[in-house]
């Protein structure tokens, strides 16, 4: 143990004296600090802004004047996806998905106004977040610092001396691993600080997600340390080792993730909303139009409601038949829209699962998936937002349809387009708009997110085990 410790300490001393290492480390450290602060400020401001917007959308809805309830169905409401606290580290899909969604009757709208649509386009790599730096740049730093960790000793002849002194290959490899792990550990500190900071400001459940995030990145950096060490053990020349590691980085960090996207897109066809809406529309026509209570599709419903109230015609009903139709068709339509929406989300989730399985070829993909999941900024969280806002939409629309059925008479409702007095009587008291529920979006609970992140984290662990084996084997056959 003490031999390993001494070897590691020697390595650190050497790095501390190297201007290249210090400069590279300093640049990365500054980058981490600057992007962390900037991203945290931006995300916090954004979270506040969207929370304000959400509250003001509710206030505006409540403040609407007396109206026909169906007007309020079309007046609609907004749901905003407020970013969770850990989005300050990994904003994830927040920038590419719309942040707000307009909720109204008979329609499921898409989330609109993604940041990227108004962004300055400077190519595919032009987004720096703390998560990106950890995923892309830190491995590169470990490569530049560590590729010679064993080869340096070999090329300067000190490896032979070490071995001759009776140090086992395993002790040498262990010491070098410790040295690299020390560097990785130092660079984990800002992340740990950020995690502590967010955990302290958010509710307790965020703390476990933040801890898992730090552990996940620890695992990821450990994989890169192991890779660097394994290459340094197995390759005989420094220049070859560095070239090989840069190539691996290029493949793992830049190429495989994008190829995974291409593959997922080519393997699973996820129709866009317009495409699936068109298929749905042809089915919807068969259901009948909720605006037109005389539509033949409602005959069966009419028979049933007339029987229930023992009435001969819709005019005799104690409730407003038009409101009944509106509620009934909204329910039918929503069931169908949800079936299509679920199918779309299922396909997108399978695409993203394919991408996650590519983590077997790229630890960067695996940590990316785990990181977004734990931070609550992954695709599944966006889908949760879509589902929850749909629940909100359905509830207030049906609440209004219920008012439409019970608070006004059929005769007035039918005459309102031509008779101003009837039109006045169909206006419902504005106090009724309070039926709208408050909406504050929050991602899945931390345990659910942790469970979802388990697969990519296991993939990372698998990488570490395999590379650990390679290091063990390389250490055993270590010769000068």
Partner 1 sequence: MNALLREARFLAKDRGAVLWIVLALLLSAAATGFGIAEVREQRQTIAALLAEDAKDRANAISKHDAWGDAAYDAFHLTYAPPSDFAFAALGQRDTAPWLHRVRMLSLESQIHEADTANADFGLIGRFDFAFLAAAVAPLLLILLLHDLRAGERVAGRHDWLVASAGTPRRLWLPRAGVRFGGLALALLVPFWIGAAIEGAGFGAALAASALVVGSLAAWWAIIAVVGRRNASPPALLAALVGIWLMLALLIPAAARAGIEAAVPVPDGAEILMLQRDAVNDAWDKPKAATMTPFLARHPEWRALGTVEKPFEWKWYYAFQQVGDQQAEPIVTAYRQGRLARDRAAGWAALLSPAALTERGLERLAGTDTRAMIAYEDRVRAFHARLRAFHYPLFFRDPPYDPVVLDGLPRYDPAP
Q: Which of residues 69-128 bind partner 1 (CB under 8 A)?
A: 71, 74-76, 78, 80, 92-93, 95-100, 102, 109-114, 116-128
Residue 373 beta carbon to partner 1: minimum distance, rounded to whole angstroms: 12
Q: Which residue has the tokens 């609609």?
A: 76
Q: Tell me how far apart the alpha carbons of residues 324 and 199 are, in angstroms, rounded to a whole number.
A: 48
- Judged by beta carbon, residue 120 or residue 300, the one nearer partner 1 is 120
Residue 166 beta carbon to partner 1: minimum distance, rounded to whole angstroms: 30
- Judged by beta carbon, residue 189 or residue 240, the one nearer partner 1 is 240
Q: Which stretch binds partner 1 (CB under 8 A): 67-75, 188-196, 313-321, 438-446?
A: 67-75
Q: Which stretch binds partner 1 (CB under 8 A): 274-282, 315-323, 390-398, 403-411?
A: 274-282
The 3-state secondary structure of the chain, one letter per residue: CHHHHHHHHHHHHHHHHCHHHHHHHHHHHHHHHHHHHHHHHHHHHHHHHHHHHHHHHHHHHHCCCCECHHHHHHHCEEEECCCCHHHHCCCHHHHCCCCEEEEECCEEEEEECCHHHHCCCCCCCCCCCHHHHHHHHHHHHHHHHHCCCCHHHHHHCHHHHHHHCCCCHHHHHHHHHHHHHHHHHHHHHHHHHHHHHHHHHCCHHHHHHHHHHHHHHHHHHHHHHHHHHHHHHHCCCHHHHHHHHHHHHHHHHHHHHHHHHHHHHHHCCCCCHHHHHHHHHHHHHHHCCCCCCCCHHHHHHHHHHHHHCCCCCHHHCCCCHHHHHHHHHHHHHHHHHHHHHHHHHHHHHHHHHHHHHHHHCCHHHHHHHHHHHHHCCCHHHHHHHHHHHHHHHHHHHHHHHHHHHHCCCHHHHHHCCCCHHHHHHCCECHHHHHHCCCCCCCCCCHHHHHHHHHHHHHHHHHHHHHHHHHHHHHHHCCCC
In the window 122-181, what residues touch partner 1 (CB under 8 A)? 122-128, 136-137, 140, 144, 147-148
- Judged by beta carbon, residue 23 or residue 465, the one nearer partner 1 is 23
Contact string (CB under 8 A) for partner 1, positions 414-453, x = contact: --xxxxx--x------------------------------
- Judged by beta carbon, residue 95 or residue 215, the one nearer partner 1 is 95
- Judged by beta carbon, residue 120 or residue 438, the one nearer partner 1 is 120
Residue 253 beta carbon to partner 1: minimum distance, rounded to whole angstroms: 11
Count of residues that bind partner 1 according to CB under 8 A: 98
Residue 104 beta carbon to partner 1: minimum distance, rounded to whole angstroms: 9
Q: Tell me how far apart the alpha carbons of residues 111 and 117 are, in angstroms, rounded to a whole number.
A: 13
Is 278 a binder of partner 1 (CB under 8 A)? yes
Residue 3 beta carbon to partner 1: minimum distance, rounded to whole angstroms: 27
Q: Tell me how far apart the alpha carbons of residues 57 and 50 are, in angstroms, rounded to a whole number.
A: 10
Residue 197 beta carbon to partner 1: minimum distance, rounded to whole angstroms: 21
Q: Tell me how far apart the alpha carbons of residues 82 and 52 are, in angstroms, rounded to a whole number.
A: 10
- Token pair in block for residue 444: 């899945």
Residue 196 beta carbon to partner 1: minimum distance, rounded to whole angstroms: 25
- Judged by beta carbon, residue 4 or residue 375, the one nearer partner 1 is 375
- Judged by beta carbon, residue 171 or residue 428, the one nearer partner 1 is 428
- Judged by beta carbon, residue 330 or residue 378, the one nearer partner 1 is 378
In the window 340-399, what residues touch partner 1 (CB under 8 A)? 348, 351-352, 355, 368, 379, 382
Among 4, 32, 43, 57, the residue binding partner 1 under the rule CB under 8 A is: 57
Residue 264 beta carbon to partner 1: minimum distance, rounded to whole angstroms: 8
- Token pair in block for residue 445: 């609970």
Among 12, 33, 51, 53, the residue binding partner 1 under the rule CB under 8 A is: 53
Residue 190 beta carbon to partner 1: minimum distance, rounded to whole angstroms: 18
Residue 59 beta carbon to partner 1: minimum distance, rounded to whole angstroms: 12
In the window 193-252, what residues touch partner 1 (CB under 8 A)? 238-243, 246-247, 250
Residue 188 beta carbon to partner 1: minimum distance, rounded to whole angstroms: 21
- Judged by beta carbon, residue 138 or residue 226, the one nearer partner 1 is 138
In the window 6-25, what residues touch partner 1 (CB under 8 A)? 20, 24
């Amino acid at each position: 143990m003490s031999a390993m410790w001494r070897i590691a300490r020697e390595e650190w001393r050497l790095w501390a004296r190297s201007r290249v290492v210090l400069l590279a480390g300093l640049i990365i450290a500054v980058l981490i600090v600057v992007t962390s602060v900037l991203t945290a400020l931006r995300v916090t401001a954004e979270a506040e802004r969207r929370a304000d917007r959400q509250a003001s959308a509710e206030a505006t809805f409540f403040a609407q004047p007396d109206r026909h309830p169906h007007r309020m169905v079309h007046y609609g409401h907004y749901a905003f996806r407020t970013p969770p606290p850990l989005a300050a580290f990994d904003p994830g899909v927040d920038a590419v998905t719309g942040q707000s969604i307009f909720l109204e009757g008979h329609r499921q709208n898409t989330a609109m106004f993604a940041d990227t649509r108004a962004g300055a386009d400077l190519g595919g790599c032009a987004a720096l977040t703390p998560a990106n730096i950890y995923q892309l740049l830190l491995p590169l730093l470990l490569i530049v610092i560590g590729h010679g960790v064993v080869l340096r000793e070999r090329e300067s002849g000190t490896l032979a001396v070490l071995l001759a002194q009776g140090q086992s290959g395993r002790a040498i490899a262990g010491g070098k691993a410790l040295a690299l792990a020390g560097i990785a550990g130092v660079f984990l500190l800002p992340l740990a600080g950020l995690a502590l900071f967010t955990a302290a400001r958010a509710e307790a459940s965020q703390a476990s997600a933040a801890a898992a995030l730090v552990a996940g990145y620890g695992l990821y950096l450990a994989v890169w340390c192991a890779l660097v060490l394994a290459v340094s053990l197995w390759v005989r020349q420094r220049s070859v080792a560095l070239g090989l590691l840069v190539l691996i980085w290029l493949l793992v960090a830049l190429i495989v993730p994008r190829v995974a996207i291409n593959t997922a897109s080519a393997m699973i066809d996820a129709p866009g909303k317009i495409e699936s809406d068109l298929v749905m529309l042809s089915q919807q026509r068969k259901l009948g139009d909720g605006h037109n209570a005389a539509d033949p599709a409602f005959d069966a419903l009419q028979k049933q409601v007339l029987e229930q109230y023992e009435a001969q015609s819709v005019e005799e009903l104690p409730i407003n038949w038009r409101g009944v139709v509106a509620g009934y068709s909204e329910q039918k339509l929503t069931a169908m829209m949800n079936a299509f929406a679920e199918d779309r989300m299922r396909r997108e989730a399978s695409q993203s699962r394919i991408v996650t399985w590519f983590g077997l070829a790229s630890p960067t993909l695996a940590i990316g998936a785990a990181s977004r999941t734990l931070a609550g900024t992954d695709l599944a969280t966006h889908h949760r937002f879509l589902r929850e806002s749909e629940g909100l939409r359905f509830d207030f629309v049906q609440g209004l349809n219920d008012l439409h059925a019970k608070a006004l008479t059929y005769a007035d409702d039918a005459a309102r387009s031509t008779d101003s007095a009837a039109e006045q009587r169909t206006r419902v008291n504005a106090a009724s708009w309070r039926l709208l529920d408050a909406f504050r979006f929050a991602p899945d609970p931390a345990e659910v997110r942790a469970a979802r992140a388990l697969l990519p984290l296991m993939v990372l662990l698998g990488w570490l085990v395999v590379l650990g084996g390679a290091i063990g084997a390389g250490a055993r056959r270590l010769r000068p």
